[in-house]
Amino acid sequence: MSVSTYKKWMKESFLYKTKVDDVTPVKESVNKRIRIKEVYKWLKGLEEYRYRKIPGVDVRRVTSFINNGLNETDLPISLQKKWGSATYSKEKGLADRFMKERINRKLTQTESKHPLKERYDRLFTNKVVL
């Protein structure tokens, strides 16, 4: 590719035309995306997967369902099953369980920050038992 062709291509490209002022800032979301590593560790903690090998594609599917909602059409092509009429009931169920446990954990953490509970905990942790 010659220099003039490259310059022409750069002028027509999307990156060259956008300015810093035109870009809208991305708002920080409260719910951060779940990583594959977190889901894998959670699956290894479950009784039914404790002594079983977990295929990586299953973990990636569950993570995709958690992050993008329980919609099969949003799965990337690499995560879709080859059989056309395949269902993703196992992966959807696991994603649902993961989210329920995550919500319950978050609720218990917020409950533990209650001022009365903190005062009660302080009373019994400062006592010396002889």
Task: Note the pLDDT of residue 4.
Answer: 74
Give helix 89-112 / helix 36-45 axis angle, nearest 10°.
90
Task: Note the pLDDT of residue 104.
Answer: 85
Instruction: For CA atoms 44, 46, 52, 56, give the dihedral sign.
Output: negative
Task: Note the pLDDT of residue 26.
Answer: 45
Ranges of residues in the chain whose predicted pLDDT is under 50: 20, 23, 25-30
pLDDT, averaged across the chain = 77
Query: How buried is residue 37: exposed, middle or buried, by Cβ count under 10 Å (0-12/13-18/19+)?
Result: exposed
Tokens describing residue 69: 């909602």
Task: Note the pLDDT of residue 42.
Answer: 93
